[in-house]
Amino acid sequence: MLLKRILTVLVIAPIAIAGVFFLPQTQFAVFVGAIIMIGAWEWGRLAGLGRLSRVAYALVFSCLLPATYFISSLAILILGLSWWMIAVVLVFFYPKLTRFWASHSTRCLIGIVVLVPAWKAMLLLKASPDSDYLLLLLLCLIWGADIGAYFVGKAFGIRKLAPQVSPGKSLVGFYGGLLTAFSLALLMVSLVGTPDIYTLQGAFFLIGCVFVAMVSVLGDLAVSMFKRNAGVKDSSSLLPGHGGFLDRIDSLLSASPLYALLVLNYGGTL
């Protein structure tokens, strides 16, 4: 299993890095759009769709994604963020509120508000003159929250964060992840110098980064909730040793809309 995980990372990581940081805007949109469509196909499994229906569901996104060019970006991001605010309640009260979202059609609709805003957020970040910095900072916030939570939780975690959804996550691990993410944000912002951390603008931006890290954890928990409800361990087996694409990008799906809104607040550039 460990060998599979390592080999998968060695193949996928260079492709992901090249796709995120080196592709121009149009090709980047296609690259991320392809990942979103694969994620939609996997979400179809979590929604309880059959094989053909899952393919049809993924193809729907080939129309939905281009259509977002004709809709207010702000509206799409707010729609995505609104869903994640609802998801907080669903996750921490699972399985009590399952009846409100367990139908196939409801889960399919949720998939749209999970996936589409994330795609729009990534395009907005890529369009910024500071795109490499902004995208790298976003990934560091997500990775910091995940890695910090793992090691701190493994060492000190006793009280569980959401035991009905993800028994492995602890409350102290969650705080450790936030601290790690904040430290990385502080380091990166200090090195780049924008925004100035000694100004009110810089302080608010760092606080916003902590909230982004917090919401990234919610993405992991929410996808775990849907997988648990569907009775599956992974969203698919497309990535040997890692499960599916949704298992790898779940935190990005929740964090990116809030992060894009934070960046837009600074005029799309720092």
- As to burial, measured by CB atoms within 10 angstroms (0-12 exposed, 13-18 middle, 19+ buried), residue 195 is middle
Mean pLDDT for the stretch of residues 228-236: 95
Is 90 exceeded by the pLDDT of residue 191?
yes
The pLDDT score that the predictor gives to residue 4 is: 73
Q: Are 223 and 254 in contact (CB under 8 A)?
A: no
Rounded CA gap, 143 and 252, in Å? 10
- As to burial, measured by CB atoms within 10 angstroms (0-12 exposed, 13-18 middle, 19+ buried), residue 51 is exposed
Confidence of residue 265 (pLDDT cuts 50, 70, 90): confident
Rounded CA gap, 227 and 76, in Å? 25
Rounded CA gap, 169 and 255, in Å? 18
Report how far apart, in Å, the C-alpha atoms of 262 and of each of 121, 212, 258 are. Answer: 11, 9, 6
Mean pLDDT for the stretch of residues 35-49: 97
Is 90 exceeded by the pLDDT of residue 67?
yes
The pLDDT score that the predictor gives to residue 207 is: 96
Other Cβ atoms less than 10 A from the Cβ of 182: the count is 19
Asked which of 27-31, 217-221, 239-243 is least confident by mean pLDDT, the reply is 239-243
Is 70 exceeded by the pLDDT of residue 9?
yes
The pLDDT score that the predictor gives to residue 28 is: 97
Is 90 exceeded by the pLDDT of residue 13?
no
The pLDDT score that the predictor gives to residue 172 is: 96
Mean pLDDT for the stretch of residues 140-145: 96
Enter the pTM of the model: 0.95
Is 90 exceeded by the pLDDT of residue 76?
yes
Q: Are 77 and 257 in contact (CB under 8 A)?
A: yes
Q: In the structure encoding, which two tokens stand for residue 96, read together?
A: 């009590």
The pLDDT score that the predictor gives to residue 175 is: 97
